[in-house]
Amino acid sequence: MTKLSLPRLGYGAANVGNLYRALSDDEAAEVLEVAWDCGIRYFDTAPHYGLGLSERRLGAFLATKPRDEFVISTKVGRLLRPNPVGVGTTDLDNDFVVPGDTRREWDFSRDGIRRSLDESLGRLGLDRVDVLFLHDPERHDLCAGLDTAIPALAGLRDEGAVTAVGVGSMSTDALLASVSTGALDLLMVAGRLTLADQPALAEVVPECRRLGVGIVNASVFNSGLLATDDPGSTARFDYGGVSAELLERVRAIAVTCREFGVDLPTAALHYASRDGSVASVVVASSRPAQVRENAARVAGAVPEGLWPELVARGLIPA
């Protein structure tokens, strides 16, 4: 299996695909330029993000940078096709502020996986990507993902079309089944190995250790709950609302962090990379200031005594 070295911090490019709010081309380019200026050299995108807008914007930006200085990943599983009935609508059902004249079409076949890669390369303006993830297989057909799509990904890697392959998901069941195939280099764990929620610790992380599969830890703020030092009842958790019980626990975590001189987002970023299986932490941001703050937080230090204190208070698992 191919080994690929990933930078410690990556930029998740859903926001430049107009996730939640529209960015102009200039605003998106500024966010990406600030990420580069902060030393970020790993960028993750997907056709799903803004119906191709994220890939197009990211590709236009990276065309100004030396190809050997960055790592890029994109995803397969959803092809983009014309949607005449969506003309004049917006893709708000998927949380992207983009025209709805394109639709997503699931395709886990070998030909579909290759077409998806080729079409992504066209939008990105690149002749290769470094990492290819199967995106959310449980939302379509996990069995087809395991039996057809993952072998197709492995075939692309083995022929040299990509350097590494993996699966990205928020489902621990899908992540565990995928990594257990033994065919993957990486696993993108989205929101399941965070300071607020750690179900991946039970089986997914040990299986990654056993098989030598690296983890790309994504959605480490759980859609916003951990992104501020004082989360309120309107905070998002995994693209939805937050329960009163979870909010109370996260607020208690924040109080403990402050006792150690650390804000909640900084602790969240450092917690996300504590396990030795984590190869990179990917963080999304829609504003240049957020990118700078997150890069500074990752570069800073957190007192080691914080973690056992959180365990002792029953706020995170041992």
- Residues taking part in catalysis: 49
3-state secondary structure of 232: coil
Q: Summarize the chain as % helix, strand, coil (round to 5).
A: 45, 20, 40
Strand partners, 105: 79
Signed CA dihedral, 293, 294, 299, 304: sign only: positive
Q: Which long-range contacts (CB under 8 A, 24 or more apart) does 203-206 make?
A: 203/172, 203/176, 204/172, 204/175, 204/176, 204/179, 205/275, 205/277
3-state secondary structure of 94: helix
Count of alpha carbons within 13 Å of 281, Cβ hemisphere only? 25
| E-strand stretches of 90-225 | 102-106, 129-135, 162-169, 186-190, 214-218
How many angstroms separate the CA atoms of 8 and 273, rounded? 8
Helix (H) or strand (E) segment spanning residue 75: strand 71-76
